[in-house]
Amino acid sequence: MPSIKQLKELTINELFDKYPYSKDFMLDHHIPFEGKENLIVDEVLDTIDEEHAEDQAIDVEKFKEQLIEYINLMLSFLGEEDESQTEVTILPGFYKDGSRENYDRLTIKSGEIICIVGPTGSGKSRLLADIEWAANYDTPTKRTVLINGNTLDTKERFSSSNKLVAQLSQNMNFVMDLTVEEFLDLHATSRLVENKEDVIISIFNKANELAGEQFKLTTPITSLSGGQSRALMIADTAILSKSPIVLIDEIENAGIDREKALDLLVSEDKIVLMATHDPILALMGDKRIIINNGGIEKIVDTTEDELNILSKLKRLDRIMLTMRNKLRYGEQLEFEEEI
């Protein structure tokens, strides 16, 4: 986040390099910087004569404050304001029957994958929603969620530019009248990515790798199937989103390659929380939270033995996948491998 002092040390070229959107801001404010790109911001502001300043209503001292405010707003909008690690802490709330959750506090750090398991209707999605909105004793569970040790204020919680959390929910329907390419272009433009074409193609290719039936760049997003829509959103979140926290609600029902999807979403600097009924996904987490009757019942680490079981389950899963594909394409089934 730049301060007035740092701004004073940057040349116009360095400023535009570091914060490309500051060029439009300068242009909009009629700051005459052309031909002075090697000067520092202060020197350029000094060259503005009183008449020009008056004509264009430029308040030189205020301009620097406004420029910093604008840069900070853009950094926050683009989710780039804080490059440090993120930490989510969940403080106990109450079960559906009103009794208190029986754990001390749960802190999750960047790079961790946490799975949320429990019977249908037990409160897995509710826990994800508590994190999404940084609950502050004001949700049905009365949990409190701290981000980097603090509760968020109302503005931070409900701001549309707060890109702390990327959410992939169970039901995803597009309502915009756009093709896949137009949709990705819109998103990449809003994220100010430089190599837009490459990014669009890489999201499109990844999404098609995850989805069963292929779609095209010219496919209208409203005609994508449920699985294709989720594949597109997963690839889009993985490649374009800078949010440090990714929440996933039941990836398994989407008919996509869930292992590839998870690999794509997980990265060193992200926290991934995933509600799932699928043992393979549940064991791919570092820890799992067991939810019952609306409350966190237990938090367990994935053991070495379970990791061995995971590789067997993956083998079984590949057999199931082959069988499913054979059935899909009208082939007869036969066992090619001993289970």
Site residues (vs ligand ATP, CB under 6 A): 94-96, 118, 120-126, 140-141, 275, 294-295
Q: Point out the residue whose Cβ comes nearest to ligand ATP.
A: 294
Residue whose C-alpha is closest to residue 113's, from 256, 251, 245: 245
Nearer to ligand ATP, 184 or 291 (CB): 291
Minimum distance from residue 320 beta carbon to ligand ATP (Å): 21
Rounded-to-integer distance, Cα 133 and Cα 86, Å: 16
Nearer to ligand ATP, 21 or 94 (CB): 94
Minimum distance from residue 136 beta carbon to ligand ATP (Å): 15
Minimum distance from residue 127 beta carbon to ligand ATP (Å): 7
For residues 236 and 179, the answer to whether their CB atoms sit within 8 Å is no
Q: Which residue has the tokens 């009794």?
A: 99
Minimum distance from residue 140 beta carbon to ligand ATP (Å): 4
Q: Are strands 113-117 and 287-292 parallel, antiparallel or unpaired?
A: parallel
Nearer to ligand ATP, 168 or 240 (CB): 168
For residues 282 and 109, the answer to whether their CB atoms sit within 8 Å is no
Minimum distance from residue 322 beta carbon to ligand ATP (Å): 28
Q: Which residue has the tokens 């996933």?
A: 248
DSSP string spanning 257-289?
A: -HHHHHHHH--TT-EEEEE-S-HHHHHHSSEEE
Which two tokens mark 285? Answer: 């987490």
Minimum distance from residue 139 beta carbon to ligand ATP (Å): 8
Nearer to ligand ATP, 111 or 227 (CB): 227
Nearer to ligand ATP, 140 or 255 (CB): 140
Minimum distance from residue 93 beta carbon to ligand ATP (Å): 6
Rounded-to-integer distance, Cα 273 and Cα 55, Å: 54
Instruction: Tell me the backbone φ, ψ of residue 110, rounded to 5 degrees.
Output: -50, 140
DSSP H stretches of helix in 114-257: 124-132, 154-158, 180-190, 196-210, 226-240
Nearer to ligand ATP, 92 or 244 (CB): 92
Instruction: Tell me the backbone φ, ψ of residue 150, rounded to 5 degrees.
Output: -125, 150
Nearer to ligand ATP, 2 or 118 (CB): 118
